Amino acid sequence: MHDGLTRPVASNLPTQSHSRSQGPNVILYLRPGPLFQGHAYPVPEGDEPHDLSLDNLKWAANGTNHGGLSPQQSLASMTSATVVTVNYRLGAVSPPPRSNEETIQNSTHTSPNASPSSLSQPQSQPLFYKYPTPIHDTLAAFDWIKTNLNPAHLGVIGSHIGGSLALMLALTEAQSVKAVASIMPVTDWVGLDDYCTTEQANANTSEKPTSKRASKKKNIRATAPRDIVPLLAAREALFSSPERCFDAFASPILFLRSAGRDVPSAFPVYLARPEYPVPVLKNTRPADLDGSFSNQENDLEDDELSETGHTTVRRRKALSRWPPYGLDYGAGGRGWGGNGVRRLEVTLPWVRVYVEGNEGESSETVLADQGEEMVSVMRRACFFGREKGFGERRVSLVRGVGEVGLGVGEEVGGWFERIFDGRISDE
């Protein structure tokens, strides 16, 4: 993992000109990651596109804006802030090229029985990274910014997987982050199974549904969202085991509500061929799923016995209060007064979540659904005791950004600028 700094053209002053108590405004830029063929910004000519095959999830390099500037340069120009780009490691990442000196040093430690051909070939096999590596890289970059730049105000922007990491920082580093812009984020890797179904659900049409089931059946889609299949493939490739998806740092909505199911022992396998408009769960031994699978038809219902005699455990998605009590217990934070466990006194940063689609229309993608749910849950969980309008101002949803988040760079830059200079405030 390595960082990149982008400074505005007007700020040609040396770094030492900023006092220790008042550093520059800083924007942390998190790349989209190896997800889908597109980005929040288009890939420049000559860079590798994303490939979602399980054996070849590629990393896409920096994008360019419509005006020939990279998104980092555009943000720096509009906000006069220092932009730090985090190249977090996820998927197949080519190692940095070795220098001639390193090659000579490595060859001196090679076994004398090695063939000449193996000595002459460079070791350039891509490394494949999975969660939680991008989380660790992002937190390391965040600590580096606080230590070395001492920002006056810190904003965070990311799209897709980068948008998920941006929301993670909003909920875990709220005392240091001023504003977060999250474009088409992946907020709930666990909830992807809600868009799939079982063969039994499709075949069992002879039994007349009860009123409870009939009311829920109308919420099931006739066809699956167009991004569900690549998201399922990415989940299986980027997580070493199902329990990793239940980590709130990877699925940030789980900071605010429960997952609604138990952790399975293996990822469910779905049939996603053209004859299946909705991915269908393959016949799997019940023990492999541990009763964790539920779809939109039966979610949030009471426990019941399935046709196979296996108990299907379904749990309600319970809302949690944020920040939780004891978050800073014993750490000397502002919430600790020495009189037992207290609640940390902190306000959620300004948050904007960008999704595709228009107001009043049903969403056609998983990420749009997740973005809308994230905004709703944040407003309900993070502002207990405050008027409803305060949460709606702090956390907002912006629609119509396009399938890959194109055209939001200027809007985000202007929003950051207004927050940094105080034109947007709680007063």
Domain edge (last residue) among 312, 335, 362: 312
Residue 116 in any domain: the answer is no
Residue 27 CA to residue 3 CA, distance in Å, equals 12
Beta bridge partners of 271: 280
Residues 28 and 82 in one domain: yes
Start-end of H helices in 66-128: 71-79, 100-108, 116-120
Residue 108 in any domain: the answer is no
Q: What is the CATH number of the domain that holds 356?
A: 3.40.50.1820
Q: Which residue has the higher pLDDT, 403 or 25?
A: 25
Residue 307 CA to residue 367 CA, distance in Å, equals 33
Q: Which residue has the tokens 């720096």?
A: 76
Amino acid at the residue 225 = P
Residue 103 in any domain: the answer is no
Cα dihedral across residues 177, 143, 371, 79: positive or negative: positive
**By residue range, what is the domain housing residue 42?**
3-96+124-184+321-420
- Angle between helix 366-381 and 228-238 (nearest 10): 70
pLDDT at 340: 58
Mean predicted confidence (pLDDT) in 288-294: 51
Q: Lowest-confidence range among 27-31, 346-350, 403-407?
A: 403-407
Total of domains in the chain: 2
pLDDT at 20: 53
Residues 222 and 157 in one domain: no
Chain segment 81-118, per-residue pLDDT in tens: 999 999 999 999 888 766 555 544 554 444 455 555 44
**pLDDT cut 90: percent of the chain above it:** 51
Residues 65 and 148 in one domain: yes
Residues 155 and 209 in one domain: no
Q: Which residue has the higher pLDDT, 374 or 364?
A: 374
Residues 26 and 161 in one domain: yes
Helix H or strand E segment including 198: strand 197-198
Residues 163 and 74 in one domain: yes
Residue 104 CA to residue 397 CA, distance in Å, equals 55
Given a cut of 60, whether residue 219 has pLDDT beyond it is no
Residue 235 CA to residue 216 CA, distance in Å, equals 27
- DSSP-based helix, strand, coil % in the chain, nearest 5: 30, 15, 55
pLDDT band for position 310 (50/70/90)?
Answer: very low
pLDDT at 104: 47
Residue 117 in any domain: the answer is no
pLDDT band for position 79 (50/70/90)?
Answer: very high
Given a cut of 50, whether residue 172 has pLDDT beyond it is yes
* Largest CA-CA distance found in the chain, in angstroms, rounded: 76
Residues 407 and 277 in one domain: no
Exposed, middle or buried by CB within 10 Å (0-12, 13-18, 19+), for 206? exposed
Residues 206 and 171 in one domain: no
Residue 140 in any domain: the answer is yes
Task: Measure the CA dihedral 372/376/379/380, to 10°.
Answer: -160
Given a cut of 50, whether residue 396 has pLDDT beyond it is yes
Residues 179 and 326 in one domain: yes
Domain edge (last residue) among 268, 291, 312: 312
Beta bridge partners of 129: 91
Is the separation of the CB atoms in 163 and 185 below 8 Å? yes
Residue 233 CA to residue 292 CA, distance in Å, equals 19
Residues 293 and 254 in one domain: yes
Q: Which residues have a Cβ under 8 Å from the Cβ of 172 and sit 6 or more positions away?
A: 249, 255
Closest of 289, 255, 269 to residue 382, by C-alpha: 255
pLDDT band for position 68 (50/70/90)?
Answer: confident
Residues 150 and 256 in one domain: no
Q: Which residues have a Cβ under 8 Å from the Cβ of 203 and sit 6 or more positions away?
A: none
Residues 157 and 201 in one domain: no
Given a cut of 80, whether residue 120 has pLDDT beyond it is no
Given a cut of 70, whether residue 374 has pLDDT beyond it is yes
Closest of 423, 425, 420, 415 to residue 352, by C-alpha: 415
Given a cut of 50, whether residue 174 has pLDDT beyond it is yes
pLDDT at 65: 46
Residue 128 in any domain: the answer is yes
Mean predicted confidence (pLDDT) in 62-76: 71
Chain segment 323-367, per-residue pLDDT in tens: 877 555 444 455 445 565 566 778 999 999 999 988 878 888 999
Residue 102 in any domain: the answer is no
The pTM assigned to this predicted structure is: 0.78
99-120 burial by CB neighbour count: b if 16+ within 10 A, else e? eeeeeeeeeeeeeeeeeeeeee
Helix H or strand E segment including 412: helix 409-420
Is the separation of the CB atoms in 220 and 280 below 8 Å? no
Is the separation of the CB atoms in 182 and 349 below 8 Å? no
pLDDT at 44: 35
**Quick one: tokens of 126?**
């891509």
Residue 104 in any domain: the answer is no
Q: How many CA atoms does the CB half-sphere of 151 hold within 13 Å?
A: 24
Q: How many CA atoms does the CB half-sphere of 287 hold within 13 Å?
A: 0
Domain edge (last residue) among 282, 312, 342: 312
